[in-house]
Amino acid sequence: MKDALKKKGMFVKKLSNQGEFFRKRWEKEFASALSASQKKKIYMDQFLWHAFSYEKLPCLQGEQAIQAFEQQIKNDCYLLFEHDERVLQLSKCKHLTTRRSASDEEAQRRPGKAKPNGGVISGSAHVSDLFVFKLD
């Protein structure tokens, strides 16, 4: 993944053993309005996105969410994974997109070429099954 992002002109810095720290930071930044009891009821300890899928916090969905992400100025951001200690700090990430390129689709069809759970990073640096966020 790191090499594919670098090929797109992004600067990538791996932050070792920082997953828990950044997930807590994400939770503080985006889900601080939820009480500990609410977080427990929606199993947010298992998946951070439950804050949105259980409709406890407002969010954009579908094409509206994709368009909003695509329109964001993405100079610097972090990639963190739901159940992993890996965190990637990205700079110059204007090519980070939700869209899959034709080469991504082809990689998905070839056994052994795609990342598990659809997490393909190539073509136009498509990202899935992980969180991307900016902190000011």
pLDDT digits (tens), the chain, 136 positions: 788 888 888 899 999 999 999 999 989 988 999 999 999 999 999 999 899 989 999 888 888 888 888 888 888 888 888 888 989 999 988 878 876 544 444 444 444 333 333 333 322 333 444 455 554 4
What is the Cα–Cα distance from 105 to 16, expressed in whole angstroms? Answer: 30
Read out DSSP for 36-55? HHHHHHTTTTT-TTHHHHTT
pLDDT of residue 72: 85
At 34, phi and psi to the nearest 5?
-90, 140
